Chain A
């Protein structure tokens, strides 16, 4: 086994064995499970109500009982009179009953329900009643079924969103855009979280090795370059693992909520373009790695572990600013936002959002991804050199991150 692999495996093993890391790894799974459990419990306690239908018009009552319920209620057919229904209600055998009174052309209905019963979503019942009334009226007017259908066919209504770029209209179906934006937001947030997490992980680790002088053993066993790349590769493996777990948890969760919970509206995964997915994955890996590499460098520059957060703060601030700017990018396509979406360290937050709202074409996105990739190569090279020079440097030489504080002091 070569030493590069020894270091890489050590980074992976060490973190996988840490409870804090495992928790963060499976956090999305826990969240999804918790929400699913919550939905399951609330579904259980709020079951379909059982109701009775009574009427002075037997034909109407029968027709109403036969109408589709869409699972909103269940009709207890045996109860046909108001007295019986009231009695059943008082015994809590049913959740409510509908009494329909037909007098000439007017139809009036009263729904009485127990306050402690399962509540009724009355839309379906109302629609059924209206349909029956209309059909009755139409029959009296002598209309055919076809005429009836024409009469009640709803007007067509659609929303189209347009985005202009260089005076050219590009069109996206609105729900597709919605889906992209949701995913872009979630992923931008996750990228920010990952950046905060992995920068601190690798910087702490490096600073600990240096502060505890383990570094002297490491450097006399493995060259700093091998060590650096081993560490960074180990981190990359952890990042990919976490992206996969988070992604799978997200997919399963969204699919589940799609069927069971309506907050996502008509969100659907079929609406996310494959292009969007590859963009997000590219930014995920490139963006987080860019920060991780720099964090390893910063970790090697401090002499004591307590200095880590201070040394990291400029880096994490940039990450946070980029994340905040991503909210602005939803509604604004200003020059600053456009430039920012090409700048490494910012692009991972800005470009996915710009693309999702239709402010950037796929070609522009890939250009920005390419810039980020080149930046990653360059930064890795720089970080590796700095790491090499600083891992054994215990002199209290002032580093750039200390200047501000010293001057203020």
Chain B
């Protein structure tokens, strides 16, 4: 279990992170979201002791993280770095050895990992001869191959195509099932929404949202309706309590003043019987993200 309490860091007049608190249990995934400069990387550095916080505490299994815990950590830094002149195998074996895993164990496990991430290249290929995407996959393997219990991934999905992003999602889920505590950052909602148990949104270092995806969304009320019915655009725009109407093909997406408007709308739309689509939901995380960003600009 990772417990972060009241973590604060300033860089001169610049706000790094302000009074940040969260807990990640075993087998849980925490998604850290926020725009560039929100304080995600700073949070990770403080968790790992790479940067001393101004105040606040980080506890791993109820004690401060020390070098005895390093072997249980898997860390993918935001700026990727590998020894470009080393072979894939030497590179992964070295990083794993630094996390206390015997070279023989790493060498045995590596081919499976290469296959799982579909790395194009031989074990003896030099890192510098790999494509950027494959380099990134090698770095992911080096981060995970020693089966860490505390996994910190700084923007792991950036630069991955959807197929590879899916492979990474699967691996993260597998690590979670093995009982790891995982925290990752992203500015892309899609992955975050799919795999996170908890979400934390930072803006200029401040925590603006925190909770499970459902909790966060329900805070914003069931105010989004998607509708296919005999009602045309003019009728929808004129409908009391409807704020915004967007046409999506032959469906409409509406923003309501409040949840109750949905009931009236449903009645009106179904007055002549069957309609193919009516769904009322909270705003998507993607939308919430944009709302929160816009709120403070």
Q: Are B98 and A219 in contact (CB under 8 A)?
A: no
- The residues of A that contact B73 with a CB separation of less than 8 Å are 220-221
Chain B's closest residue to A7 (CB) is B98
The segment out of B81-89, B194-202, B254-262 that lies at the interface is B81-89
A216 and B94 contact, CB distance less than 8 A: no
- Total number of A residues with any Cβ neighbor in B under 8 Å: 22
Bound-complex Cα distance A209 to B81 (A): 8
CA distance A217 to B153 in the complex (A): 12
Would you call B296 an interface residue if the criterion is a C-beta within 8 Å of the partner chain's C-beta atoms?
A: no
- Cβ–Cβ contact A10 & B70, under 8 A: no
Q: Are A217 and B75 in contact (CB under 8 A)?
A: yes
Does A6 have its Cβ within 8 Å of any Cβ on chain B? yes
A214 to B100, CA, bound (A): 17
Q: What are 16 A-B contacts defined by CB distance under 8 Å?
A: A6-B98, A13-B90, A14-B83, A14-B86, A213-B77, A216-B45, A216-B75, A217-B142, A220-B48, A220-B50, A220-B73, A221-B70, A221-B98, A221-B99, A222-B70, A223-B67
- Distance of B95 from chain A, by nearest CB (Å): 6
Q: Mark A213-239, 1 if CB is under 8 A from B, else 0.
A: 111111111110000000000000000
Complex interface: chain B residues within 8 A of A3 (CB): 97-98, 100
Contact mask B74-114 → A, CB, 8 Å, 1/0?
Answer: 01010111110110001000110111101000000000000
List chain B residues, Cβ under 8 A from A209. Answer: 81
- The smallest C-beta distance from B274 to any residue of chain A, in angstroms, reads 59
Q: Is the CB of A214 within 8 A of B82?
A: yes
**A77 vs chain B, min Cβ distance (A):** 69
The answer to the question of B51 belonging to the interface, with a C-beta cut-off of 8 Å to chain A, is yes
Chain A: minimal CB distance from B79 (Å):
4
Those of A384-398 within 8 Å (CB) of chain B: 392
Whether A216 lies near B95 (C-beta < 8 A) is no
Complex interface: chain B residues within 8 A of A219 (CB) = 50
Chain B residue contacts of A310, Cβ below 8 A: none
Q: Which of A10, A18, A216 has the most chain B CB atoms closer than 10 A to its own CB?
A: A216
Can you name 11 extra interface pairs (CB under 8 A) apart from A6-B98, A215-B81, A220-B75? A1-B97, A3-B100, A10-B94, A13-B90, A214-B83, A216-B81, A217-B98, A219-B50, A220-B49, A220-B70, A222-B67
Query: Which chain A residues border B100 with CB–CB below 8 Å?
Result: 3
Instruction: Scan B14-38; emit 1 where CB is below 8 A from any A CB, else 0.
Output: 0000000000000000000000000
Asked, given contacts A1-B97, A6-B97, A392-B50, whether A217 binds B81 with beta carbons under 8 Å apart, the answer is: yes
Residue of A nearest to B84 (CB): A212
In angstroms, Cα B79 to Cα A125, docked, is 80
- Nearest chain A residue, comparing its CB with the CB of B142: A217
Q: Which of A10, A14, A213, A220 is the one whose CB lies under 8 Å from B81?
A: A213
**Residues of A contacting B77 in the complex (Cβ-Cβ under 8 angstroms):** 213, 216-217
Q: How far is the CA of A221 from the CA of B98 in the complex (A)?
A: 6
A339 to chain B: closest CB distance in Å? 44
Which B residues are CB-close (under 8 A) to A223? 67
Residue of chain A at shortest CB distance from B98: A221
B95 touches A221 (CB 8 A): yes
One digit per residue, 1 when the CB lies within 8 angstroms of any chain A CB and 0 when it does not, for chain B 35-69 equals: 00000000001001111000000000000000100
